[in-house]
Amino acid sequence: MMKHPPIEHAASALDFEHPAADPIASFQRWFDSAHEQTKLPNPNAMSVATIDPDGRPSVRVVLCRGIDARGIVFHTNRESRKGEALRAHPRACANFHWDPLDRQVRIEGRVEHTTEAESDAYWASRPRENRVNAIASQQSRPIGTRAALEAAVREVEERFAGKDIPRPPHWGGFRIVPDRIEFWQGHKHRLHDRMAYLRTGEGEWTVTRLCP
Ligand SMILES: Cc1cc2nc3c(=O)[nH]c(=O)nc-3n(C[C@H](O)[C@H](O)[C@H](O)COP(=O)(O)O)c2cc1C
């Protein structure tokens, strides 16, 4: 696997000496380059860490489905383990790692629900089978066998036969509203570039270069 390819990826490189003012725009640039310049099957995959009600950290991979000035969005079952964690502690940390580009981004912040309209639009964009399975699966709850899961899927299929499948109220998007964004660009012999943006109370970003 090609590593440290600064020439090939110069177009999407960030200037760590003269950092851009808006880290979300810089993140978008790296996110886009991960789609355009790699063959990763899920360049939008991110690990999202949360804190369980008892203070225990947990992390899982989800897909980033939206980026804008407000933050980054993923969709899930809000009654899942992560959903319960976010109800107790509405903060999360997302981490992207694009190995072929030797890049990592860490995004931290409070978490809010996406609007009903955003959740509805994403739900409507999913294939019917995904919507059926999302309803049948009580995400993160125990289930005895695969046969039981498949029976739950059949039950949902029968219940909605010939009908539209509405989004269940517990299924929707979460938005991480960033107050800290860190960029990491790998270099030879571990002399990597790092910089962290912090959002002040007034909404302005300040940036600090960090040792690797
Ligand atoms: C590549 C990949 C993408 C995934 N995307 C999602 C996603 O967008 N939403 C989701 O709820 N789970 C997704 N999952 C499953 C989660 O990793 C996790 O198993 C599930 O959400 C339950 O997590 P929890 O028990 O911590 O709530 C994905 C898993 C992988 C490996």
Q: Where are the domains of the chain?
A: 21-124+170-210
Q: Mean pLDDT for each consecutive 10-residue tract of the chain (212 residues)? A: 56 94 98 97 98 98 98 98 98 98 98 98 97 97 97 98 96 98 95 96 94 96
* CB 130 near ligand 1, within 6 Å: no
Which residues are tagged catalytic?
Answer: 190
Q: For ligand 1, atom 7, which residue shows the shortest CA distance?
A: 62
Distance 19 CA to ligand 1 centre (A): 33
Whether the CB of 80 sits within 6 Å of ligand 1: yes
Q: For ligand 1, say whether the CB of 171 is within 6 Å of any of its atoms.
A: no
CB of 139 within 6 A of ligand 1: the answer is: yes
Q: Is the CB of 30 under 6 A from ligand 1?
A: no
Q: Is the distance from CB of 16 to CB of 193 less than 8 angstroms? A: yes
d(CA 51, CA 62): 16
Selected from 3.30.930.10, 1.10.3720.10, 2.60.120.560, 2.30.110.10, the CATH number assigned to the domain covering 21-124+170-210 reads 2.30.110.10
CA quadruple 66, 72, 171, 98: dihedral sign: positive
pTM: 0.95
The residue nearest atom 10 of ligand 1, judged by CA position, is: 76
Instruction: Compute the distance from residue 45 Cα to the ligand 1 centre, in Å.
Output: 10
Residue 3's pLDDT is what?
A: 57
Measured in Å, residue 10 CA sits from the centre of ligand 1 at 32
d(CA 34, CA 45): 11
Pairing relationship of beta strands 91-98 and 45-51 according to DSSP bridges = antiparallel
Sign of CA dihedral 101, 107, 113, 118: negative
Q: Is the CB–ligand 1 distance for residue 126 below 6 Å? A: no
pLDDT at position 202 is: 87
Ligand 1, residue 61: give the atom nearest the CA.
17
